Amino acid sequence: MRNSFFIAMRVPTATHQEHKVSVVHGKPRFYEPPEVKDARQSYMAHLSKYAPREPWQGPIRLEVKFLYRDESLLTEWAWKTTKPDTDNMIKLLKDCMTRTGFWKDDCQVVSEQVEKFYSRDHEGVYIVVRTLA
């Protein structure tokens, strides 16, 4: 099976690793800052439109391209070599894809390709999901 789609959106710069810690009554409490909550809600709203009826089974390949708009580019696109890191960007997206039912557990994703670009004409996230079995 294969599913590919483009989500036209402002790519979140908040990442999954940005959890905060506070101490309440002498005990640590972990929480998500508002930027991460907003990014999660945005992903969930967009991804729910493309989620399969039933979670996919078996090994899965995930390809993701994050496109950040930059109208000043002289070419159609350019690599984005600044933060956030792709490994941190993909964690939040995969977590949201798990919650919206693309698969039962993100450990099923056995192959992934993640890229980030500046694009003169587009902004959003291009996703290709396919089963490998």
pTM of the model: 0.88
Domains delineated in the chain: 2-131 (3.30.1330.70)
**Helix or strand (DSSP H, E) at 30:** strand 27-31
pLDDT at 18: 57
pLDDT at 17: 59
pLDDT at 89: 93
Other Cβ atoms within 10 Å of 132 Cβ, number: 10
Phi-psi region of 125 (alpha: psi -120 to 50; beta: other; left: phi over 0): beta
Contact call for residues 125 and 93 (beta carbons, < 8 A):
yes
Q: Which amino acid is at 118?
A: Y
Written as tens digits, the pLDDT of the chain (133 aa) is 999 999 999 999 876 655 667 788 888 888 778 898 999 999 999 999 999 999 999 999 999 999 999 999 999 999 999 999 999 899 999 999 999 999 999 999 999 999 999 999 999 999 999 999 8
pLDDT at 16: 60
Q: Which amino acid is at 43?
A: Y
Number of separate helices (H) and strands (E) present in the chain: 2, 7
